[in-house]
Structure 1
């Protein structure tokens, strides 16, 4: 199974998901998104929303897992690896964060704000350099886990069915796993399922960041261990705190959304605010961490 994960990562790093393919057939996550939206519209009403949401989540996971299992059984691991390729987002994440880093380094705040708004949900219309760098670093750390390490981890555990099921769970959480009046009950099962699916990968991502942190490894490990639990998410705090400790900056903290101010605690709160240079350093940390995990997958595949 590690072979499937390693090949999927290699293909994603080399070519990503080409725009021409996306224009013609879309992307597996968008297919899942349409199914989730359909079930949300059909079932998220009336009484019993909590169990209806659980049913919807199980249907979506089954819709991803069962065809993936049959395809791997019929076509073998090599074809399964190719089919797993679009479910890894290593190159896409790098590209999106670079789109913030370049204008931020050039002092072009309007362009940096527009690029940051593509990867975070908070209001960045008035954000300064520090706020933009902080938001982008948090997104980079969290999505390194959710979009790269977790899919590869589940591919290494369960092959194509493992990564397909994980992407279904993660897409469910992103679409309905919110504490809003509409989705607090309907999305509760999906949110908890995502927490469980990311329990190991989030901590593994933090460990990878620590492993490639160099001289900052000790502080990164202490920061992850001491501050991760302060985060609103049971998982996202681990890679974010490890990145904050490695770079010597503070992350999380208060942030502005369209309808409210979220007064979140700081991670590595005694440190300084990040800047444009720290975003470039964060990208370097991310790339080294993914490279290390890719090497580990290759070793496991060889064994």
Structure 2
């Protein structure tokens, strides 16, 4: 980490926290992640066939990384040495951070759920999770909290971590890998082989940030229970990374997360995190959002302090 890369990360966080990605801008130019997704879709359609699918998937990963990282390297080179170069690069990195978007999507679930409008909350949570949900408030709150915890790592802390480590190329590379994983890195019959390299690479690059996100939640909660549950239960999660922020969130709120769920009518029997606790409700979702805001404030403070040292 250097003062330049820390400036990039802090600038991206501050700009995104202040304005997010405005709808007008999305309508005009879409979003860089959408651009990456279009490339991945084209590569998937063209190369995910026949023999040697693991190798073909690895080449797709390399092509996607090149498409994301090479422009970032060129921009970094072009702005090197300019007085406000790192700030400009931070603004360019801003679309790759989802601080405000994540908060707004989860708040869109919390508001109707707190008002007793369960169908509206269910419709809102369907925008951020893919599992089957009924009209009970507890599974809706649980799904939203899990999404908040996991995506705090994937959508905010991890991109900023890699920005702080390697500047604009670092955050661009991370976002390409994470988008690859979300699109082809799952165990469906079509992608079990083609997406294997993407999935393994995503697990690797998310390893440090997932632990850091859990620690941020623990610090923001000021709770020994959050630390204890995270340490005890993180490894029980199906993901090598998501259990850390979800475990910390479960312990901080003293609710149970993860556990059994259904996808397209098929039940997935996953273990609970903080198994002895109660199911979360609307009030816990609001508390989770407050915890998220404090954790992200701590992240910004940490970046600022690192830059000042």
Same fold? TM cut 0.5: yes
| 1:288 lines up with 2:291 in the alignment | no
How far off its partner does 1:160 sit? 0.5
1:48 aligns with 2:52: yes
Unpaired segments of 5 or more residues in structure 2? 80-84
Residues 253 and 288, structure 2, Cα contact 8 Å, conserved in 1? yes
Q: CA deviation at 1:254?
A: 0.5
Q: Deviations over 1:232-258 (max 9, x none)?
A: 000000000000000000001100111
1:53 is displaced (CA, Å) by 0.2
Match of residue 26 from structure 1: 30
Structure 2: distance between partners of 1:249 and 1:68: 42
Written as runs of structure 1 = structure 2, the 5 A alignment for 1:1-303 is: 1-75=5-79, 76-124=85-133, 126-214=134-222, 217-303=223-309
Q: 1:116 & 1:160 partners in 2: Cα distance?
A: 31
Which deviates more, 24-33 or 252-261?
A: 252-261
Structure 1 gaps of 5+ residues are none
Q: CA deviation at 1:127?
A: 3.7
Distance 2:103 2:240 in 1: 24
What displacement does 1:78 show? 2.0
The ranges of structure 1 where at least 4 consecutive aligned residues each deviate by more than 6 angstroms after the TM superposition are none
Q: Write the deviation string for residues 190-235 of structure 1: whole angstroms up to 9, x where unpaired.
A: 0000000000000000001111112xx2111111111010100000
Q: Return the alpha-carbon distance in structure 2 between the equivalents of residues 65 and 300 of structure 1.
A: 25
Report the Cα distance in structure 2 between the residues aligned to 1:159 and 1:253, rounded to whole angstroms.
Answer: 37
**Is the Cα–Cα contact under 8 Å of residues 244 and 267 in structure 1 kept in the other structure?**
yes
Aligned counterparts of 1:73 and 1:284: Cα–Cα separation in 2: 39
Rounded Cα–Cα distance in structure 2 between residues aligned with 1:256 and 1:223: 24
Tell me the SS of whatever aligns to 1:171.
helix
Q: Counterparts of 1:121 and 1:34 in 2: how far apart (Å)? A: 20
- Measured in 2, the distance between the counterparts of 1:167 and 1:183 equals 19
Query: Please, what is the CA RMSD of the aligned residues?
Result: 0.7
Q: CA deviation at 1:66?
A: 1.1
SS in 1 for 2:209: helix
Q: Distance in 1 between matches of 2:265 and 2:137?
A: 22
Q: Over residues 158-210 of structure 1, what are the superposed CA-to-partner deviations in whole Å (9 max), with x where a residue is unaligned?
A: 11001000000000000000101000000000000000000000000000111
Cα distance between partner residues in 2 of 1:64 and 1:198: 18
1:302 is displaced (CA, Å) by 2.1
| Higher mean displacement: 192-201 or 74-83 | 74-83
**Aligned pairs, how many?**
300
Decide whether the 8 Å contact of 2:119 with 2:135 is kept in 1: no
